């Protein structure tokens, strides 16, 4: 991501504008007087006001859980405990994670805007991740040395002596489905529908306190500043230096923002997201909430686009390998499955709605799993699903799929 890092100093010193957004971020139309810093550094009395330790912790926990899904020594209870960690339980290899009172499961489908009044769907989504764990341990682990065939779980090797993939009876890699679904249900949902929500940013006395620089307890930040930083943390929290992120610092949203940015059709999206985070945070310091909210809309559009682009990309990669390298096809389609599932957590700018609803998403994932799943899937079905997704955005299936 060299072009991303090198672009920071150049663009950050320019004047900024607040934006009205179309579905993919829009064109800047309203001038404002808020200036973002060159890097994500904000201080009060020469001390940092930026804090997002909980987000870093959950990203690191999630990485261990995903790795644990391909370790046959793990029991269902072991993985369940990692997912729903309780303070001081010995669930992880990192003592700091074990000491934490955070858990991944508690923040899955837990945003204020989408799930505070929709606990039924939230419970179903959490249960979906529980089922990934259950089926991996009880159906895939026992067949770890079995050659997978249609209707039979087991292992399947990529062509030319490539990686061995471990799939369920329908060809789905649960570790990939879990990881990519978690990008939506945790990272995207918490960023777009929770911490960037006006219901969270402006809750209670947050506006009055931010206006008066009333700090959050003994902390060096206002509550509003902290909420914005927590959104930032779900994307950049595992960076060595989050103030100047280079991306691909984890296997979740950070990695896939980088991958989309590396596609010439979407080049610059990473810098757009970073600049919006910086400008929105600077607007909070400046008490300019119109500019803040405009940046939140840009972030919603751009991050939603990442999920859609990668979903289509993997659908098309899977299609390209069907019939010739089924292990590679199944691997790509398992990643696609998770990204398609994640579309229900996206957010259309200016609305409280995802680009595709829960029911629309489940219809698409059901199509992927019809009959014997990936063993039976056809190129025509993969194209139809891809086109259904791209129709909701301002890019084509061809652009996202290459």
3-state secondary structure the chain: CHHHHHHHHHHHCCCCEEEECCCCCCEEEEECCCCCCCCCCCEECCEECCCCHHHHHHHHHHHHHHHHCCCCCCCHHHHHHHHCCCCCCCCCCCHHHHHCCCCCHHHCCCCHHHHCCCHHHHHHHHHHHHHHHHHHHHHHHHHCCCECECCECEEEECCCCCCEEEECCCCCCHHHHHHHHHHHHHHHHHHHHHHCCHHHHCCCCHHHHHHCCCCCCCCCCCHHHHHHHHHHHHHHCCCCCCCCCCCCCCCCHHHHHHHHHCCHHHCCHHHHHHHHHHHHHHHHHHCCHHHHHHHHHHHHHHHHHHHHHHHHHHHHHHHHHCCCCHHHHHHHHHHHHHHHHHHHHCCCCCCCCCCCCHHHHHHHHHHHHCCCHHHCCCHHHHHHHHHHHHCCCCCCHHHHHC
**Whole-number pLDDT of residue 32:** 72
Q: Torsion angle of alpha carbons 143, 145, 147, 149, nearest 10°?
A: 10
For position 272, what pLDDT does the model report? Answer: 98
Inform me whether the pLDDT recorded for 16 exceeds 70: no
- The total domain count for the chain is 1
pLDDT at 6 over 50: no
The pLDDT of residue 1 is 40
Residue 10 confidence (pLDDT):
38
**Token pair belonging to 193:** 């529908």
Model confidence over 216-241: pLDDT tens digits? 999 999 999 999 999 999 999 999 99
- Judge whether 301 lies within some domain: no
Looking at residue 283, its pLDDT comes to 98
Does a structural domain hold residue 368? Answer: no
Q: Residue 58 above 70 pLDDT?
A: yes
Q: What's the pLDDT score for residue 15?
A: 41
**Overall average pLDDT of the 390-397 stretch:** 98
pLDDT in tens, 234-278: 999 999 999 999 999 999 999 999 999 999 999 999 999 999 999
User: Is pLDDT above 70 for 397?
Assistant: yes
Residue 107 is assigned to a structural domain of this protein: yes
Residue 282 domain-assigned?
A: yes
Inform me whether the pLDDT recorded for 207 exceeds 50.
Answer: yes
Mean pLDDT value across the chain: 93
Classify residue 68: in a domain, yes or no.
yes
Distance CA 367, CA 389 (A): 14
Please report whether residue 304 resides in a domain.
no
74: pLDDT strictly greater than 50: yes
Residue 94 inside a domain? The answer is: yes
- Quote the pTM value: 0.93
Judge whether residue 7 has pLDDT over 70. Answer: no
Residues spanned by the domain of 140: 1-294
Q: What is the mean pLDDT of residues 84-97?
A: 98
Query: 318 in a domain, yes or no?
Result: no
């Amino acid at each position: 991501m060299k072009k991303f890092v090198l672009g920071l100093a150049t663009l950050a010193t320019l004047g900024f504008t607040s934006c009205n957004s179309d579905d993919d971020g829009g064109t800047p139309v309203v001038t404002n007087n808020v200036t973002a810093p060159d890097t994500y550094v904000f201080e009060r009395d020469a001390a940092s006001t930026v804090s997002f330790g909980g987000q870093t912790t959950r990203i690191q926990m999630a990485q261990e859980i995903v790795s644990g899904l391909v370790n046959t020594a793990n029991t269902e209870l072991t993985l369940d405990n990692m997912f729903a960690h309780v303070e001081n339980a010995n669930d992880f290899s990192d003592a700091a994670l074990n000491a934490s009172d955070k858990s991944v499961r508690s923040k899955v489908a837990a945003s204020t805007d989408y799930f505070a009044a929709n606990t039924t769907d939230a419970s179903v989504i959490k249960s979906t991740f529980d089922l990934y764990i259950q089926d991996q341990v009880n159906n895939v682990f026992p067949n770890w040395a079995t050659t997978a065939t249609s209707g039979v779980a087991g292992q399947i090797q990529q062509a030319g002596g490539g990686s061995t993939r471990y799939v369920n009876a329908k060809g789905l890699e649960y570790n990939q489905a879990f990881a990519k679904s978690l990008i939506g249900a945790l990272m995207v949902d918490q960023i777009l529908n929770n911490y960037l929500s006006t219901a969270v940013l402006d809750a209670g006395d947050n506006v009055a306190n931010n206006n008066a620089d009333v700090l959050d307890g003994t902390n060096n930040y206002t509550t509003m500043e902290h909420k914005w930083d927590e959104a930032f943390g779900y994307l950049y929290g595992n960076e060595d230096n989050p103030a100047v992120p280079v991306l691909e610092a984890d296997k979740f949203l950070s990695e896939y923002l980088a991958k989309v940015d590396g596609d010439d059709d979407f080049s610059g999206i990473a810098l757009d997201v970073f600049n919006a985070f910086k400008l929105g945070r600077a607007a909070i310091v400046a008490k300019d909430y119109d500019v803040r909210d405009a940046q939140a809309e840009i972030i919603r559009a751009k991050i939603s686009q990442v999920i859609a682009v990668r979903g289509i990309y993997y659908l098309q990669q899977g299609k390209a390998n069907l019939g010739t390298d089924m292990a590679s096809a199944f691997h790509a389609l398992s990643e696609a499955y998770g990204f398609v599932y994640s579309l229900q957590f996206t957010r259309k700018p200016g609305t409280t709605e995802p680009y595709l609803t829960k029911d629309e998403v489940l219809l698409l994932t059901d199509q992927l799993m019809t009959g014997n799943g990936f063993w039976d899937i056809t190129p025509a079905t993969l194209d139809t699903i891809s086109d259904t997704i791209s129709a909701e955005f301002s890019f084509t299936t061809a652009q996202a799929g290459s």
